[in-house]
Amino acid sequence: MFKLQLYYGFSGFSISAARLGLPDVGLISYGEMIDQGCLITEAASIPVIGDADNGYGNCMNVKRTVKGFIKAGFAGIILEDQVCFSSDIELFMADVLPYTVFVLVILKLHD
């Protein structure tokens, strides 16, 4: 699947489509992303950036997510500042964390 993504330029929705047959609307769990991420990073010959949605919960979950994505071999991670999961369709309606709160979440990763 990764080789198809690399060739055709598919986006992060591909994991949800491949595993669940559904669009990326926040249904893929942390564990599923880690499992799939290990497979993708092992097959990749280039750095892979993982989509961690909003970190799967509070500050402690974000910290766990970042560590897990690193262990899975991702070269980078995308963290959204949304309060809850949302699809691309709902993106314009999503509640967003205040800038100062999101900065604190990122700073908490260094603890």
65 neighbors 56 (Cβ within 8 angstroms): yes
pLDDT at 70: 94
Is the pLDDT at 12 greater than 70, yes or no? no
Mean pLDDT value across the chain: 77
Query: Which of the pair, 31 or 16, is modelled with greater confidence?
Result: 31
Residue-wise pLDDT for 58-106, tens only, equals 888 888 999 999 999 999 998 877 665 445 555 555 566 666 776 776 7
Query: What are 34's two structure tokens?
Result: 């880690």
Q: Between the CA of residue 49 and those of 14, 33, 44, 57, 76, what are the distances in Å?
A: 13, 12, 11, 20, 4
**From its phi and psi, is residue 57 left (phi > 0), alpha (psi between -120 and 50) or beta?**
left
pLDDT at 83: 63
Q: Span 43-54, mean pLDDT? A: 87
pLDDT at 69: 95
* E strands, the chain, in order: 49-51, 76-78
